[in-house]
């Protein structure tokens, strides 16, 4: 999911995100189409008005798109992002399937007024689990102004489904890159550092600014474009914590990338995302999932919980990189550094931040 990289033209503009609340609400038809605030009710309930509007707490969705009922919250300087101005689904020419996320399927589409590519995630709201995931994802993407998270252009409700129009990332996911490229060489540590730095910036923003644990960080949810940009996607099962020291106790996400404390049912916090990040780093280095293949799924879970964490082959890679990764996959979650701390690590700081290196590498892979 990401933008195509062409110059801004028809249908492309700059705008700031609106700050919106996450709760599902109900309202009468008069309330849903008026300016009065809707009354909050049980999270499991929702209202469809006679005019075909799907109502959420502070925003609503219909054929015309997504609109907020409160004034936009002022954004900090430099927080503006390029947004394709999609006015309706009729402006989109649907293309190939791109895959499936935590809450819905994703298709590639062309925004005909601008000629730019977008990704369209389609979610059936009548399924409660998918509806709840959609609400979480919409809240995050409409309130989190960050260049390291995938951008939401607009969202529409039609025929019992919500279509989220997202930026199209033409480089695919890290899972695609790992499959095509295989194990990394020592000379590629600069490229690894560029990917790691952008992932950590995204996690740092989620953790510090919005107290959000992603909970499903894996190579397929880290997207890249040909401009060398790396962005985190698929926030359908993210969880918001009360503070930077908050803890979660739910069990959701892709099990193979879960931290040991999650697998054994303990409370967990932001360190769970750092563990997942560490496994992704190892997978990029090795060209495969860092734990040995197991015929028995439960044996794999036992390895993650009970055995030593995998490590970087020091004969191939630098000692600094080996130390960096080992910090991320420390079995003791209390000893794992934060995303902000990792951004200050000497392995990252010694590498340049020029995206052109990563961009050139991706362009070769896409030929």
Q: Which residues are annotated as a binding site for ATP?
A: 121
Question: Which of 238, 243, 193, 191 is closest to 217 using CA atoms?
Answer: 238
Find out whether 238 and 212 touch, Cβ atoms under 8 Å.
yes
Find out whether 234 and 98 touch, Cβ atoms under 8 Å.
no
Strand order in the sheet with 92-100: 92-100, 105-111, 116-124, 161-166, 152-158
* Cα–Cα dist 217/231, whole Å: 11
* Cα–Cα dist 134/154, whole Å: 13
264 Cβ contact list (under 8 Å, min separation 6): 305
- DSSP H stretches of helix in 182-220: 189-204, 210
Find out whether 327 and 312 touch, Cβ atoms under 8 Å.
no
Helix (H, G, I), strand (E, B) or coil at 20: coil
Residue 218 Cα distances to 123, 255, 281, angstroms: 21, 10, 10
DSSP 3-state percent helix, strand, coil across the chain (nearest 5): 35, 20, 45
Find out whether 83 and 14 touch, Cβ atoms under 8 Å.
yes
Q: Which residues make beta-bridge pairs with 109?
A: 94, 118
Residue 306 is a catalytic residue: no
**Among the options 216, 234, 273, 333, which is catalytic?**
216
Helix (H, G, I), strand (E, B) or coil at 122: strand
* Cα–Cα dist 59/319, whole Å: 50
Q: What is the dihedral of CA 74, 164, 63, 55, to 10 degrees?
A: -60
Degrees, nearest 5: CA angle 220-223-227: 155
Residues with active-site annotation: 216
């Amino acid at each position: 999911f990401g933008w195509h990289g062409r110059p801004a033209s028809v249908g492309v503009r700059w705008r700031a995100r609106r700050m919106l609340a996450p709760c599902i609400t109900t309202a009468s038809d008069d309330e849903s189409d008026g300016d009065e605030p809707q009354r909050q009710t049980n999270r499991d309930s929702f209202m469809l008005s006679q005019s075909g509007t799907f109502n959420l707490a502070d925003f609503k969705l219909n054929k015309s798109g997504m609109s907020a009922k409160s004034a936009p919250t002022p954004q900090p300087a430099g927080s503006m992002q390029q947004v394709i101005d999609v006015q309706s689904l009729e402006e989109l020419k649907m293309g190939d399937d791109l895959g499936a996320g935590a809450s819905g399927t994703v298709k590639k589409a062309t925004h005909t007024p601008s000629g730019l590519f977008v990704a369209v995630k389609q979610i059936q709201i009548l399924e409660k689990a998918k509806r709840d995931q959609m609400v979480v994802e919409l809240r995050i993407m409409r309130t989190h102004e960050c260049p390291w998270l995938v951008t939401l252009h607009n969202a529409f409700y039609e025929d019992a489904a919500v279509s989220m129009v997202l930026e199209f990332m033409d480089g695919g996911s890290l899972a695609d890159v790992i499959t095509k490229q295989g194990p990394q060489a020592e000379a590629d540590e600069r490229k690894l550092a560029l990917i790691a730095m952008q992932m950590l910036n995204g996690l740092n923003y989620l953790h510090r600014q919005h107290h959000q644990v992603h909970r499903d960080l894996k190579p397929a949810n880290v997207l890249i474009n040909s401009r060398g940009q790396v962005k985190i996607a698929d926030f359908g099962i993210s969880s918001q914590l009360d503070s930077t020291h908050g803890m979660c106790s739910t069990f959701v996400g892709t099990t193979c990338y879960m931290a040991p404390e999650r697998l054994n049912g303990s409370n967990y916090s932001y360190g769970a995302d750092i563990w997942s990040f560490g496994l992704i780093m190892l997978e990029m280095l090795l060209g495969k999932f860092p734990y040995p293949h197991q015929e028995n799924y439960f044996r794999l879970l036992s390895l993650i919980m009970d055995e030593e964490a995998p490590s970087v082959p020091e004969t191939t890679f630098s000692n600094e990189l080996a130390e960096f990764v080992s910090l991320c996959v420390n079995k003791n979650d209390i000893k794992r550094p934060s995303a902000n701390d990792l951004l200050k690590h000497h392995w990252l700081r010694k590498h340049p931040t020029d995206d052109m290196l990563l961009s050139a590498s991706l362009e070769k892979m896409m030929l």
